[in-house]
Chain A
Amino acid sequence: AQTVTQSQPEMSVQEAETVTLSCTYDTSESDYYLFWYKQPPSRQMILVIRQEAYKQQNATENRFSVNFQKAAKSFSLKISDSQLGDAAMYFCAYPSGYALNFGKGTSLLVTP
């Protein structure tokens, strides 16, 4: 079965610092997409960033960027200049069959 693994159940970062959340996945496909979703305490899941596997360039959305290592099947999320509002569960996801397959999530705590 194809899997998505987030090895860090919890992470902590100070405001204004940088944090990296890890994700590895397992696929035999050559062309696919990868996603990071954020779920704040309000429970609303929000798409943070998307990476297309055929693109060499790492995706960036403001303070959020990815480090995509296709050969290593690694897809980490870097949050720069962390803010209190970044505190949330973060899920990595990958298309498997007709749907997205999600990791178990990383809980990010942001301290003042």
Chain B
Amino acid sequence: DVKVTQSSRYLVKRTGEKVFLECVQDMDHENMFWYRQDPGLGLRLIYFSYDVKMKEKGDIPEGYSVSREKKERFSLILESASTNQTSMYLCASSPQVRGLGGYTFGSGTRLTVV
């Protein structure tokens, strides 16, 4: 079974901490994505990457950065965590640009910033 693995299911961090959310896929996909999911707002794109060391901002990149040093790993970084970044974070990967083949999702990380 193909998989996207997010390292933590639940995470609690303090305001001002630097937070790393890790995502690893074993499908040799070129494209990887980070979304945040909030009730009533659906999924909003934070960043995506279509190749190693390549990254593009999504719709809500403020307060976040990403790293993709290897094809299989895409990390989301909260430079200085704030309470308004409390959310569900979903990682996804896709073999085709624009997600045309559909996404494979990780199981999500629920982050609480206190």
Contacts and interface: CB of A to CB of B under 8 A. Distances in A.
Interface of A: 9, 33, 35, 37, 42-47, 50, 91, 93, 95-105
Interface of B: 31, 33, 35, 40-43, 45, 48, 50, 56, 58, 88, 90, 92, 97-100, 102-103, 105, 107-108
A102 B42 contact: yes
B100 A33 contact: yes
Nearest to B31: A98
Q: A-side binding surface: helix, strand, loop or mixed?
A: strand
Contacts, number: 54
A110 B77 CA distance: 38
Contacts of B108: 43-44
Q: B-side binding surface: helix, strand, loop or mixed?
A: strand
A102 B43 contact: yes
A104 B41 CA distance: 5
B79 to A, nearest CB: 22
27 contacts: A9-B40, A33-B100, A35-B99, A35-B102, A37-B103, A42-B107, A43-B107, A43-B108, A44-B107, A45-B105, A46-B105, A47-B102, A47-B103, A91-B43, A96-B98, A98-B48, A98-B50, A98-B56, A98-B99, A99-B33, A99-B48, A99-B58, A101-B45, A102-B35, A102-B42, A102-B43, A103-B42
